[in-house]
Structure 1
Amino acid sequence: MRNWFYYIGILISLLSTSCVDDPVNWTPTYDSTHTIPYGTEVLRKELPKIFPDSKIQNIGVNTHEFFDETDAYYSYAHYMYINEIDIHTISTWSLISNFVYEGGSAFIAIGQGNTVLLNDLGISIDSFTKVKDEQAISLSLQAGTTEKSFVAEKVFNTEYISNYNPETTDILGYLTYNGQKEPNLVKVYHGNGYFLISTTPSLFTNYHVLRKNHNQYVLNTFSFLEDADIYWDNHRMNQRRAGEKNDGGFFNGLSFIMKHESLRWAFFLLLLLGILYLAFNSKRRQRAVPIILPYSNYTLEFAKTLSELYRGNPDHTAMVRYKINYFLEQIRQKYHITSKDTEKDYAELLSLKSGVDIYTCQIIVTTIELFKAKSYLDREDFVRIQSLIQLFNQKSQAYARSNTRS
């Protein structure tokens, strides 16, 4: 009955855990390894299709280290950075600016607060005051002499470009919010290269790339970039910023489990069941009592073995000698006398201790001495010595019973 309660408890725990809904994580991480709505995994996987002739490389180290230690300055490539928050240092942006100045290009989708863009390019970014968080925004892209319009929902970026240098800047797109239209996508020429700057990074996340009316905006935006190799700077960005490295070890796997509620509860349940198992099995168990069997009596087996031995090959001489030795050994163990120590008085001593008459003892002793001296004994000799030994045993037992009664 106790085991039934135990298993029922486990079943209820498993069912309750399996019914837990994993809530949607709306955190804007912009990481290309995240499948949450505001990650960039979908865009990263679609880049080879958008740029089929380009080689795409993830920046897996610190961005400053990448531009400082590689030959990026000598390659004609696109640097891509999509993030609502600027996590780069001023020195890192200076290296990116030098990379573009030497002939590279950079697609930057970022919010407010970048001082390098302001100082080097004269770009200022401002933001509309939000009226409603769920309010849709209108977007437009320059397509030759016309504009192509889009309507986007769940876009929480309302930043726009408030100041720019008209001599080095081409306006490629606009954002209209609450009746006000401002540029949100510009191309800024810098040295031998150029910056393509967008103020709506959330449009390039998984949620919007997977929406039919939104992904067309993304494709049209990337059409302003020429075919070139790409340095993608959104791969495991949070880990690189924290100085962590995903080596595939235990704690990296544990962090993945803790991010998902269902896996987290399953892990805690497994840990609890392990503790309960150790607790119930830590009680002292009674050791099995060993079964000690009594010593077996092999007399009958021994007699059977001898009978089988001599039935097929009757050697009377050996049988008589064995019978004599066995009889003398019984006398020695039972009456503590030997024929060697008292050869002259052996018959008398045997008669005295066994209670058998002297005549019978003398006959059996004489017969034993006679048979010991003979080299060959036949069946009659075996029968004779067997009869004398049986007679002696009968008389000695009778004497022992009479002593017991008296």
Structure 2
Amino acid sequence: MKKIGPILLVITALVITAAVASGIKKTKTVDWEESFNEKSSKPYGVSVFYNELPKLFKNHKVRTVYHTPESYLRANSEDGYGDHIAKGSFILIGNSDYLGDESVDELLGFVAEGNTLFISDYYFVQKIHDTLQIDVDYASTAKDSMSYMSFETKKLANANIDKNVGINYFSSFDSINYRILGYTKTDEERINFIEVPFGKGHIYLHLEPKAFTNYNMLKDDRYKYAEGVISYLPNTDIYFDSYTKIQSGYGDVDKKSNLSWFLEQLSFRWAWYTALVFTILFVIFNAKRRQRIIKIIKPLQNTTVAFVKTISHLYFDIQDHKNLIHKKITYFLEKIRTDYNLDTSILNDEFISKLASKTGKKKEDVKRLIDYINWLKSRKEFFEDNLLTLNKHIETFYSN
């Protein structure tokens, strides 16, 4: 044991030296990734704008949509399983290229019923270009990488957007029926903000999503430009698209653990590593110490069935319907993957057709079950009827 002291001192000195050296050489870099994430405080996140929405639309709900518009709007329609009927303004800031044709159709149907769609992105998916008959082009900015944003009406505040290697603008659209709302300018002025009437509602297309990011919302008075853009939206409920976050297999948000944040901080990281090193050393040097006699305990009898019944009754008695529903859906989809070798990450019409074909079930019955599962995934609160209905659909699927 006399040799352990010097060894610990040497290791401690090495750890401290490495921590100090790392602290000297380490220079914190800014992450300029354009995530447009409403929970990100990085320069090109949109948390500042997102947190201001309840103030801009007072007395109205701001809902965050973590599912595709196709799934969410179908569930929250007159014929859907949602807890309300979606009415108001649907907002997408950046990363809108994930939209499939069915999601675009749902959004257009949403607008046609008298609602509003606002998209701010550099380009739009081809379905939108073809349906609305618009074209978007790109032009390089001047040497100072600065673009100048302005409105058709002079009552709204203009803004400068820096760190721009280029700008996007509408090169072709229906100038008779569509309304020009704003411009972008480098060497010449070009249109970058238009209003499109569609059915009973309106679509607002904007080509500079960086205007809504934290960097520009907090720099000088550029926030006034974002307020000016949003001022065109009616004073109604807001549906803020957040589907482009990191997704898990079932479309839920995959959040970072608390430990990952600590490891990003230099001081916390080295404190963690130091504690880890000493813990390992403690285990190594104390592994040969005599262990206390462990009392022999007779193993319990195999009461698996009784245990399962007890746990299920416990879940049911404490009204933990959400947990039970999640487990039933998880086990059902796992069985589908195992028995029929089907990918269950996207539960759309194609999946329904494949499942009906492989199982020999009626497509209407399969669709009823899958639609109900998709609806449950969009809910936050669950009741006993939801659990009983899900169980009924699953039993019907296996009994037919």
Report the TM range for the smaller structure's normalisation.
0.5 to 0.7
Tell me if structure 1 keeps the 8 A contact 2:196–2:202.
Answer: yes
CA distance in 1, matches of 2:190, 2:33: 27
Distance 1:4 1:268, change over 3 A: closer
1:106 to 117, 128, 140: 117
1:95 to 95, 103, 106: 106
Tell me the residue number matched to 1:53: 59
CA distance in 2, matches of 1:263, 1:63: 40
2:161 to 132, 149, 152: 152
1:43 aligns with 2:23: no
1:214 to 190, 211, 222: 222
CA distance in 2, matches of 1:270, 1:23: 26
Q: Which structure would you say has the larger Rg?
A: 1
Question: How many residue pairs were aligned?
Answer: 280
Paired residue secondary structure (1:39): coil
CA distances 1:302-344 after superposition (whole Å, capped 9, x unpaired):
xxxxxxxxxxxxxxxxxxxxxxxxxxxxxxxxxxxxxxxxxxx
The CA deviation at 1:62 is 3.3
CA distance in 1, matches of 2:88, 2:58: 14
CA distance in 2, matches of 1:191, 1:118: 17
Paired residue secondary structure (1:278): helix
Tell me the residue number matched to 2:35: 29
Paired residue secondary structure (2:224): helix
Q: 1:57-96 alignment to 2 at 5 Å?
A: 57-71=63-77, 74-84=85-95, 86-96=97-107
Paired residue secondary structure (1:237): coil
CA distance in 1, matches of 2:277, 2:134: 56
The CA deviation at 1:42 is 0.8
Tell me if structure 2 keeps the 8 A contact 1:106–1:194.
Answer: yes
CA distance in 2, matches of 1:259, 1:28: 19
1:126 aligns with 2:133: no
The CA deviation at 1:91 is 1.3
The CA deviation at 1:118 is 1.2
Tell me the residue number matched to 1:400: none
Distance 1:139 1:264, change over 3 A: same
The CA deviation at 1:85 is 5.2
1:176 to 152, 166, 185: 185
Tell me if structure 1 keeps the 8 A contact 2:157–2:228.
Answer: no
- Structure 1 unmatched runs, 5+: 288-406
* TM, length-normalised to structure 2: 0.62
Q: 1:269-288 alignment to 2 at 5 Å?
A: 269-282=274-287, 284-285=288-289
The CA deviation at 1:230 is 0.1
Distance 1:56 1:280, change over 3 A: same
Distance 1:85 1:233, change over 3 A: closer
Tell me if structure 2 keeps the 8 A contact 1:80–1:230.
Answer: yes
Tell me the residue number matched to 2:364: none
Tell me if structure 2 keeps the 8 A contact 1:100–1:192.
Answer: yes
Paired residue secondary structure (2:29): coil
CA distances 1:172-228 after superposition (whole Å, capped 9, x unpaired):
100012x12111011111101101111000111111111123111111111111200
CA distance in 2, matches of 1:66, 1:22: 40
CA distance in 1, matches of 2:30, 2:260: 18
CA distance in 1, matches of 2:158, 2:285: 68
Q: 1:376-391 alignment to 2 at 5 Å?
A: none
Distance 1:191 1:265, change over 3 A: farther
Tell me the residue number matched to 2:153: 143
- Structure 2 unmatched runs, 5+: 80-84, 292-400
Tell me the residue number matched to 2:245: 238
Tell me if structure 1 keeps the 8 A contact 2:119–2:205.
Answer: yes
Distance 1:238 1:101, change over 3 A: same
The CA deviation at 1:35 is 0.9
CA distance in 2, matches of 1:167, 1:158: 24
CA distances 1:86-128 after superposition (whole Å, capped 9, x unpaired):
1221211111111111111011001124212212211211111
* TM, length-normalised to structure 1: 0.61
CA distance in 1, matches of 2:248, 2:94: 13
The one-letter amino acid of 2:145's match is Q
Q: 1:361-380 alignment to 2 at 5 Å?
A: none
Instruction: Tell me the percent identity.
Output: 22
Tell me if structure 2 keeps the 8 A contact 1:81–1:107.
Answer: yes
The one-letter amino acid of 1:159's match is N
Distance 1:130 1:153, change over 3 A: closer
Distance 1:267 1:156, change over 3 A: farther
2:197 to 176, 181, 189: 189
Paired residue secondary structure (1:240): coil
Tell me if structure 2 keeps the 8 A contact 1:17–1:266.
Answer: no
User: What's the RMSD between the two structures over aligned residues?
Assistant: 3.1
Tell me if structure 1 keeps the 8 A contact 2:169–2:190.
Answer: yes
Tell me the residue number matched to 1:165: 174
CA distance in 2, matches of 1:162, 1:72: 38
Tell me if structure 1 keeps the 8 A contact 2:156–2:228.
Answer: no
Tell me the residue number matched to 1:328: none
Tell me the residue number matched to 2:332: none
